[in-house]
Chains A and B, each alone.
Chain A
Amino acid sequence: MTKETMAILVNEKTKVLVQGITGKEGSKVTLQMQNYGTKVLAGVTPKKGGQEVHAVPVYNSINEALDNHPGINTSFIAVPNFAAFGAMEEAIQAKIPLINVLTEHIPIADTAKAIALARKAGVRIVGPSSIGIISPTVGKVGSIGGDDPRGVFNKGNIGVISKSGGMASEVSWILTKNGMGQSTVVGIGGDVLVGSTFADLMVDFEKDEQTKAVVLFGEIGGTYEEEAADMIKHGKFSKKVVAFISGLFAQNLPQGTKLGHAGAIIYGKKGSYKSKIESLKSAGVKIAKTPDEIPDLLK
Chain B
Amino acid sequence: MQLFEFEGKELFKICGINVPKSQLITFEKLDSSSSATSTPLSTGSLRVRMTGEVVLKAQVLSGKRADAGGIVKVTKINDLRFKIKELFQRTINGEKVEKILVEEMVDIVREYYLSFSYSTETRGPVLTFGAGGTGVESKGKSKSFEVNILIGVDKEVLKHLPGELVDTAKKLWEVFIKYDCELAEINPLSLDKNGKVWALDAKVILDDDADFRREVKFEERNLFGRPPAKAEIEARKIDEGDHRGTSGSVYWDLPGDIAVMAAGGGGSVVNMDALIALGGKPANYTEHSGNPPREKLKKLTKIVLSKPNLKGCWFVGGTANFTDIYETLMGFVEGLRELKPRPAYPIVIRRGGPRDKEAFEELKRIGKEEGFDFHIYGKETPMTSTAKIMVELAYGKKQIVIPSEGK
Contact = CB atoms under 8 A, between A and B. Distances in A.
B405 A277 contact: yes
Contacts of A81: 209, 212
Contacts of A146: 320-322, 353-354
A112 B209 contact: no
B379 interface: yes
A264 B269 contact: yes
Interface of A: 28, 81-82, 105-109, 112-113, 115-117, 120, 131, 143-147, 152, 162-167, 169-170, 173-174, 177, 190, 192-194, 197, 217, 219-220, 222-224, 227, 244, 246-250, 253-264, 268, 271, 273-274, 277-278, 287, 289-292
Contacts, number: 188
Given A115-B124, A253-B252, A193 B118 contact: yes
A250 B63 CA distance: 19
Contact of A164 (B149, B266, B406): B266
Given A108-B182, A146-B321, A268-B137, A166 B264 contact: yes
A289 to B, nearest CB: 5
B398 interface: no
Nearest to B273: A248
A116 B125 CA distance: 11
B397 interface: no
B265 A291 contact: no
B321 A143 contact: yes
Contacts of B319: 152, 166, 169-170, 173
Nearest to A292: B382
Contacts of A131: 321
Interface residues of B, number: 61
Contacts of B277: 248, 289
Contacts of B108: none
A108 B207 contact: yes
Given A257-B223, A260-B265, A291 B382 contact: yes
Q: By CB atoms of chain B within 10 A, which of A113, A254, A290 has the most?
A: A290
A244 B287 CA distance: 20
Contact of B177 (A28, A109, A115, A258): A109
Top 7 A-B pairs, shortest CB-CB distance: A164-B266, A260-B265, A166-B264, A170-B318, A107-B210, A222-B120, A246-B269
Given A169-B321, A193-B124, A254 B264 contact: no
